[in-house]
């Protein structure tokens, strides 16, 4: 399992680099490690800067599927926004309410190197926006209202 980088850390604040070759052995080796780390940590999404790599890869667990998004770009956003609670593996035990677009469309390269386009709403749209923010050095606590600390028992 990979180690999770915890806030504050400069790597979480850098703009991550685009992946030039999604099929390179480094990328192909990293993807299953990121998925495993996300699942073991009970996360629903993980961005590469969170495991100490400043590159544009995110993994998302949605409806029993693991989505891999390389160089994701949000190409459409709904005007309607909604508030909901968020947390982050890199900001342990802290939760807050974040306003996000209700629906989005994202373009990305999948793990087999194919270009994909996906529309999502609700939780899926929220997770994608949260993870893409990580690639731009943005954390949910920058946007959240009503931040609160919840200690694990």
- 88 vs 132, which CB is nearer to Zn ion? 88
Q: By CB under 5 A, name the binding residues for Zn ion.
A: 88
Q: Which helix (H) or strand (E) holds 18?
A: none
Is 131 annotated in the active site?
yes
Q: Give the shortest CB-4-to-Zn ion separation in angstroms.
A: 10
Q: Are 94 and 86 in contact (CB under 8 A)?
A: no
Which distant-in-sequence residues (6+ apart) come within 8 Å of 55 by Cβ? 16, 17, 18, 19, 48
- 13 vs 28, which CB is nearer to Zn ion? 13
Q: Give the shortest CB-20-to-Zn ion separation in angstroms.
A: 25
Q: 3-class DSSP state for residue 53?
A: coil
Q: Give the shortest CB-70-to-Zn ion separation in angstroms.
A: 18
Q: Are 86 and 95 in contact (CB under 8 A)?
A: yes
**Which of 67, 4, 78, 119 is CA-nearest to residue 58?**
67
Catalytic residue among 17, 36, 111, 131: 131
- 88 vs 128, which CB is nearer to Zn ion? 88
Residue nearest to Zn ion (CB): 88
Q: Please identify every residue annotated as catalytic.
A: 131
């Amino acid at each position: 399992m990979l180690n999770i980088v915890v806030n504050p850390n400069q790597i979480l604040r850098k703009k991550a680099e685009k992946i030039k070759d999604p099929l390179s052995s480094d990328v192909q080796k990293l993807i299953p490690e990121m998925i495993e780390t996300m699942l073991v940590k009970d996360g629903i999404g993980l961005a590469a800067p969170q495991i100490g790599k400043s590159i544009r890869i995110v993994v998302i667990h949605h409806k029993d599927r693991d989505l891999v998004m390389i160089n994701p770009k949000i190409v459409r956003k709904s005007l309607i926004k909604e508030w909901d609670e968020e947390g982050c593996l890199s900001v342990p035990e802290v939760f807050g309410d974040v306003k996000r677009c209700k629906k989005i469309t994202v373009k990305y390269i999948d793990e087999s190197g194919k270009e994909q386009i996906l529309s999502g709403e609700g939780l899926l749209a929220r997770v994608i926006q949260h993870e893409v923010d990580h690639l731009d050095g943005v954390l949910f606590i920058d946007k959240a209202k009503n931040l609160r600390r919840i200690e694990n028992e």
